[in-house]
Structures are given as C-alpha cells and as structure tokens.
Amino acid sequence: MNKILRYCLIGLFLSLIFACEVDSNCGSINVDYVTFDVVELNAEGREVEKTVLFDSIKSPQAIITIFQQPDTVDLLLSSFRLRLNPEGDTTDFYFYYDEQVDTIRFSHEKINRVDSPECGIDMEFIGLDTVLQTFDSLIIVNDTLRRRQDETPNIKLFIN
C-alpha cells in the first residue's frame, strides 16, 4: 500500500510542476504594423538596400496622414513600418514620391485575445496579402505580424 501511495504522490507531484504555468505579462509578441524594406536589384542581380525620399504616405482609412513632409525627417527611408487598420480586413496605402504615386491594398485577418484587465486586448494580424499593388515588385516575406529578433521585414518593396 505504501508503494502505491508513494507512486500516486510522486505522480501528482510531477504533474503539479507542469500545471504551474506562469501568468503572462503585457509583453505580447504580436504587433499591429507591417514592416517594409525598400530594395533594388544591382547590376549583378543582387538585392541592395535603397533609400527613397517619400513626400508623404497616406491611408484613406486613417484619420491622419501617416507621414507628411516636412513634419518629419524620417521620410528618407530604406526601411519603415506602417500600422494596419484594426477595424476592417483591408488597409490601403498611397505612397507619394518622385512626383508619382504607388498604391498597396493589403488584406488581412485579425484575431482578438483578451490579455488581462490591466493589459487589455492583444491583436494578432495573420494572413497578410496584397489585393493590389503598383510598385515594380513586392514580396511578402512574413504574412504574420510579430515582433522578430532577426529583423526580417514583412514586405520587400522593389523600386528601381
């Protein structure tokens, strides 16, 4: 009997270790912005970083202009990030530069998760795709919006 009791207690004790998961804190890995790298192909056909001077970047869904000269010096860009529309399942961006305008319409899904009363709602954007785009070329590298340590972007924009 002692032996059975001992095994039961050891079994429960070991299971208890697995059952003691730590509460989450407010640090979610999910983000609500798309990261872009602007690149061009050099003479050898390799991707190289390109800096573009944007006049402004706008979204018709947004209540403010996302970037506007001369409000910021950040418009000389090779990599940047833009927030997605959290209310709908599409977000449009108009990029004004070199006296021309290019457009991207993203489609995306959003899944809400209650983090805690203190931390509020955590949003997970998944399935990022383009409905239309007018740049030379565009590659979706990551279709899920997460904080990444390797700093790979969600989107590679090719501008020649």
Closest CA to 63 of 80, 87, 79: 87
Piece in contact with other proteins (CB under 8 A), picked from 71-79, 96-104, 110-118, 125-133: 110-118
Q: What is the DSSP letter of 48?
A: E
The reply to whether 21 sits near other proteins by the rule CB under 8 A is yes
Residue 34 neighbours by CB distance under 10 Å? 23
Give, as ranges, the residues between 23 and 82 that touch other proteins (CB under 8 A). 23-24, 32, 59, 61-64, 66
Structure tokens at 102: 């290019």
**Contact between 16 and other proteins per CB under 8 A:** yes
CA distance 158 to 49: 10
Q: Does 117 bind other proteins (CB under 8 A)?
A: yes
CA distance 75 to 48: 19
Footprint on this chain of other proteins (rule: CB under 8 A): 1-2, 4-6, 8-13, 15-24, 32, 59, 61-64, 66, 83, 85-87, 111-114, 116-118, 120-121, 124
